[in-house]
């Protein structure tokens, strides 16, 4: 068997090997990689930096893949020389390896500008897994991080560092961010979006020197301005790695020159990926690598025929809140006769521009809404004549039969890319469905890898499945509402992985941008719980009760229920409540079923004054949150009490109060199995017995009546309270909005709940509790807004500035 040696274990080299394996005759393959990792997805490094993915998650081909295909893998060995006549390569470990065919896939390196001080400590590039590891290890919350270079990679690095908690500045040489992909207007949109995310952007800034003594401390620009920096990332572009090509005597310009068959100037040596130059172009994106690899595989195995014609360059930047797509030649001034179609909505941050030549698409820029990128890409590839579509270039044709999932996907050509991250086409998905009998989305992801990158094509993949798979099994998901085509579970995942912290961002990016009374409160809850209260609160997305922290009544007045932990009050407190009821002429004072006192019929404008006079905290009786812990008399006075239910109840309420939950949470603690406070029909209950507590969950005595299930029997009160907390946080994180615990426990199943809460491994329990503690720490008594209202008119009725004549 002939020997094939591949220099470079990156995406291009390995993707090309995958193609070569499909051809005959077979080679004996040896791969050299100077990194010590198996082949990984370099485009997802930013997701690793942003903490969305672990390093292991981005592995493309694990060691078993190399073994199964009989490929020799030499990791950590850098090839330093090629002898094209003797047909050998020399490694930096002194090894000499013979080859019959040689494939150079050395990729590119970060371009390091010649700036004094560039070798100081804490100056990084952002190209490899090791770079990323270094950045994660070195970055600390509050650290000042500066990224030199506002291109695609620089902005991704900036966002990743920001998620690590750094205070990030992007410094860019030209006046326009991403100037390789965007025009001036598009660059300005991206700049303002980055700034909205909290990243400082400085354009038109040339760095003269990196300052600091040994360790970097700041940057000095040519205009004399200086800024502080504890950490600097260089993302000033990439340069093809051509040194080995030079040593082998290959024809080189910017990259190793290859022809349309991907041959270099030497018959036994081939090259692929970012290190090559084809028809005067070098590439730095992933799609061309795959296309080149296919052609090269045919050529190198003696099946020469297909040719590489170059790739329409397309770039997609996908970081939270900033969606950018750019492809082709979008510069209307580059060739006379170019026409421009443009759409702008500054308030929504949407910018779309198409350039047309001879009735065909020449280039496209999309900012803020990239939902049509697939269609434009296809028009570019196929050079579609757009004359008849001229009036609707920026808007999709109206869908004929709404509700038919096949329509959108049916329009797509087979060659059109569905998953941009992993380069999976519609055709590939369809044949995978047929060949492997795929009938679930999970299996589709497993087999094709589609939708395992950024996940934005999930909807499209599912529609394809629905349309093509004979026995499509809809996963147990229900779309929240018509505004967003996702289940609550998917939305939680999206908000988490895309680091979305506001309702409007989720609606803008993944929904119709508008939202309704169903999704807005649900999303409000989600961002609160996912970020443990460290989210961007948007009161307009809340129901009125959560805007004014009181329960609206049928006549538009409100009710006030202060918190009385465990139902234990005092004469002084009761007197105060009575005084407040008198002062504000409260029409009805009622003892509630929750051992609390309700003041009904209160005017909105009186709410803050009443809260101040009461001097008590909110009882959250108006919201989906912690209602109360009802208690029985317990051991203090009761003849039968076996556990101190009042103390335990007060403690439990204090620990959980002010937090929000998918639906209201009512709790109770009782000192003996006589169950006087009805703990077995509460969302969470603690039932005392001699020597232990039974912790029960999922009970109800409202519209549904359900006896709670036993979660665990705990020997001590702290253990019992911790079990309540574990379940409480688990329900917060996994319950759907408006799903009561009695539905939740039936949907998930008690066995699974126990396994993932009280019986979970210690680190899992610790993390659950840590998130609960963080949320608790950031929570506060809503009634404090009496002193610091979120808007000057939060509680008031506006008085017209001009009196009106009657």
Partner 1 sequence: MSWIRITEIENIPVREGRAVKIDRDEIAVFNLGDRFAAIENRCPHSGGPLCDGIVSGATVICPLHGWKVCLDTGDILKPQVPVRVEVYPVRVSGGVLEVDVPERQPMEDRRRGVAA
Binding site for partner 1 (CB under 8 A): 347, 514-517, 520-521, 539-544, 547, 552, 554-556, 790-793, 797-802, 804-806
CB of 517 to partner 1, least distance (A): 4
CB of 542 to partner 1, least distance (A): 8
Q: What is the phi/psi pair of residue 418, to 5°?
A: -90, -50
Q: At what angle do helices 426-436 and 458-468 cross, to 10 degrees?
A: 50
Under DSSP, is residue 518 helix (H, G, I), strand (E, B) or coil? coil
Residue 742's nearest CA partner among 674, 645, 666 is: 666
Q: Which is nearer to partner 1, 6 or 519 (CB)?
A: 519
- For 644-663, b/e burial (b = at least 16 CB within 10 A) is bbbbbbbbbbebbbbbbbbb
Q: Which is nearer to partner 1, 570 or 793 (CB)?
A: 793
Q: Which is nearer to partner 1, 145 or 548 (CB)?
A: 548
CB of 479 to partner 1, least distance (A): 17
CB of 48 to partner 1, least distance (A): 36
CB of 382 to partner 1, least distance (A): 36
Q: Which is nearer to partner 1, 334 or 540 (CB)?
A: 540
Count of Cβ atoms closer than 10 Å to residue 625 Cβ: 24
For the sheet containing 27-33, what is the strand order? 72-75, 27-33, 2-7, 101-104, 269-271
Got the DSSP string for 134-174?
A: HHHHH--TT-EEEEE--SHHHHHHHHHHHHTT-EEEEE-SS
Count of Cβ atoms closer than 10 Å to residue 336 Cβ: 7
CB of 193 to partner 1, least distance (A): 17
Q: Which is nearer to partner 1, 441 or 525 (CB)?
A: 525
CB of 525 to partner 1, least distance (A): 14
- Measure the CA–CA gap between 491 and 525, rounded to whole angstroms: 12
CB of 345 to partner 1, least distance (A): 9
Q: At what angle do helices 519-530 and 488-497 cross, to 10 degrees?
A: 50
- Measure the CA–CA gap between 745 and 709, rounded to whole angstroms: 8
CB of 548 to partner 1, least distance (A): 8
CB of 797 to partner 1, least distance (A): 5
Q: Which is nearer to partner 1, 14 or 522 (CB)?
A: 522
Q: Which is nearer to partner 1, 539 or 752 (CB)?
A: 539
Question: Strand 479-481 vs strand 597-602: parallel, antiparallel, or unpaired?
Answer: unpaired
- Measure the CA–CA gap between 745 and 759, rounded to whole angstroms: 16
- Measure the CA–CA gap between 384 and 38, rounded to whole angstroms: 41
Q: Max alpha carbon distance in the chain (Å)?
A: 104
Q: Which is nearer to partner 1, 525 or 727 (CB)?
A: 525
Q: Which is nearer to partner 1, 366 or 519 (CB)?
A: 519
CB of 805 to partner 1, least distance (A): 8
Q: Which is nearer to partner 1, 476 or 799 (CB)?
A: 799
CB of 538 to partner 1, least distance (A): 8
Q: Which is nearer to partner 1, 498 or 504 (CB)?
A: 504
DSSP, res 217 = -
DSSP, res 252 = B
Residues 6 or more apart whose Cβ sits within 8 Å of residue 69: 17, 21, 29
Q: Which is nearer to partner 1, 571 or 805 (CB)?
A: 805
Name the strand (E) or helix (H) holding 257.
Answer: strand 256-258
Start-to-end CA distance of the chain, whole Å, equals: 101
Q: Which is nearer to partner 1, 352 or 547 (CB)?
A: 547
Which bin fits 584, alpha (ψ -120 to 50), beta or left (φ > 0)? Answer: alpha
- Measure the CA–CA gap between 483 and 478, rounded to whole angstroms: 13
Under DSSP, is residue 422 helix (H, G, I), strand (E, B) or coil? coil
Residue 637's alpha-carbon distances to 642, 643, 669, 685, in angstroms, are 11, 11, 15, 21
Q: Which is nearer to partner 1, 507 or 681 (CB)?
A: 507
Residue in the structure block whose two tokens are 């169903």: 518
Residue in the structure block whose two tokens are 């950018």: 324
User: CA angle 207-318-345, nearest 5°?
Assistant: 90
Residues 6 or more apart whose Cβ sits within 8 Å of residue 224: none
CB of 156 to partner 1, least distance (A): 30
Q: Which is nearer to partner 1, 368 or 515 (CB)?
A: 515
671 forms beta bridges with none
CB of 499 to partner 1, least distance (A): 23
CB of 182 to partner 1, least distance (A): 25
Retrieve residue 662's tokens.
């998918």
């Amino acid at each position: 068997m002939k020997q094939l040696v591949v220099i470079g274990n990156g995406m291009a080299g390995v993707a090309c090997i995958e193609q070569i394996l499909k051809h005959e005759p077979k080679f004996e393959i040896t791969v050299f990689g100077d990194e010590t990792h198996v082949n990984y997805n370099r485009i997802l490094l930013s997701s690793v930096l942003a903490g969305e993915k672990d390093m292991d998650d981005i592995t493309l081909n694990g060691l078993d893949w190399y073994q199964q295909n009989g490929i020799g893998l030499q990791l950590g060995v850098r090839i330093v020389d090629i002898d094209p006549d003797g047909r050998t390569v020399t490694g930096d470990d002194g090894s000499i390896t013979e080859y019959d065919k040689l494939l150079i896939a050395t990729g590119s390196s970060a371009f390091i500008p010649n700036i004094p001080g560039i070798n100081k400590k804490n100056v990084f590039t952002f190209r490899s897994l090791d770079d990323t590891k270094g950045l994660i290890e070195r970055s600390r919350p509050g650290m000042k991080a500066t990224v030199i270079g506002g291109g695609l990679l620089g902005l991704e690095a900036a966002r990743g560092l920001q998620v690590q908690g750094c205070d990030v500045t992007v410094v860019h040489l030209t006046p326009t961010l991403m100037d390789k992909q965007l025009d001036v207007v598009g660059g300005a949109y991206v700049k303002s979006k980055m700034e909205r995310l909290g990243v400082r952007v400085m354009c038109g800034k040339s760095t003269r020197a990196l300052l600091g003594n040994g360790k970097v401390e700041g940057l000095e620009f040519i205009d004399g301005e200086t800024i502080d920096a504890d950490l600097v990332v260089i993302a000033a572009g990439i340069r093809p790695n051509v040194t080995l090509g030079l040593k082998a005597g290959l024809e080189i310009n910017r990259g190793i020159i290859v022809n349309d068959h991907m041959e270099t100037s030497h018959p036994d040596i081939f090259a692929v990926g970012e290190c090559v130059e084809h028809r005067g172009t070098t590439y730095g994106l992933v799609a061309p690598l795959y296309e080149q690899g296919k052609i090269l595989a045919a050529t190198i195995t003696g099946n020469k025929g297909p040719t590489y014609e170059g790739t329409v360059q397309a770039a997609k930047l996908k970081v939270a809140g900033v969606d950018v797509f750019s492809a082709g030649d979008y510069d209307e001034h580059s060739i006379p006769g170019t026409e421009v179609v443009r759409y702008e909505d500054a308030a929504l941050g949407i910018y779309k521009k198409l350039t047309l030549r001879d009735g065909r698409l020449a280039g496209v820029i999309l900012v803020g809404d990239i939902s049509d990128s697939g269609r434009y890409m296809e028009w570019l590839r196929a050079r579609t004549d757009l004359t008849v579509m001229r009036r609707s270039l920026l808007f999709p044709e109206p869908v004929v039969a709404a509700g038919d999932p096949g329509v959108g996907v049916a329009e797509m050509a087979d060659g059109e890319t569905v998953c941009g991250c992993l380069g999976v086409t519609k055709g590939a998905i369809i044949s995978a469905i047929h060949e492997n009998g795929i009938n679930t989305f999970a299996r589709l992801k497993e087999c094709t890898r589609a939708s395992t990158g950024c996940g934005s094509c999930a909807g499209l993949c599912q529609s394809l499945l629905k349309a093509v798979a004979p026995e499509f099994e809809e996963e147990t998901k229900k779309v929240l509402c018509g505004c967003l085509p996702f289940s609550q579970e998917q939305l939680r995942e999206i908000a988490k992985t895309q680091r979305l912290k506001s309702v409007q961002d989720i609606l803008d990016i993944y929904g119709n941008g508008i939202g309704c009374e169903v999704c807005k409160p649900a999303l409000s809850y989600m961002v609160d719980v996912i970020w443990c209260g460290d989210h961007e609160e948007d009161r307009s997305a809340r129901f009125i009760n959560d805007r004014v922290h009181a329960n609206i009544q049928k006549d538009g007045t409100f009710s006030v229920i202060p918190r009385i932990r465990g139902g234990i009050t005092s004469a002084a407190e009761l007197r105060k409540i009575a005084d407040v009821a008198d002062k504000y002429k409260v029409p009805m004072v009622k003892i509630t079923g929750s051992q609390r006192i309700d003041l009904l019929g209160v005017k909105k404008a009186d709410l803050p004054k009443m809260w101040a006079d009461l001097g008590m905290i909110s009882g959250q009786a108006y919201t989906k949150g912690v209602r109360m812990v009802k208690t029985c008399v317990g051991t203090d006075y009761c003849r039968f009490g076996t556990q101190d239910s009042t103390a335990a109840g007060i403690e439990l309420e204090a620990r959980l109060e002010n937090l929000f939950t998918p639906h209201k949470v009512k709790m109770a603690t009782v000192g003996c199995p006589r169950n006087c406070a009805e703990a077995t029909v509460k969302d969470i209950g603690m039932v005392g017995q001699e020597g232990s507590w039974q912790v029960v969950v999922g009970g109800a005595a409202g519209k549904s009546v359900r006896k709670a299930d036993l979660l665990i029997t705990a020997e001590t009160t702290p253990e019992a309270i911790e079990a309540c907390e574990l379940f409480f946080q688990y329900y917060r994180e996994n319950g759907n909005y408006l799903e009561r615990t009695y539905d939740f426990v039936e949907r998930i199943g008690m066995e699974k709940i126990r396994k993932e809460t009280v019986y979970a491994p210690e680190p899992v329990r610790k993390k659950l509790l840590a998130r609960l503690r963080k949320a608790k720490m950031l929570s506060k008594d809503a009634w404090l807004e009496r002193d610091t209202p979120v808007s000057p008119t939060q509680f008031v009725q506006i008085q017209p500035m001009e009196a009106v004549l009657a």
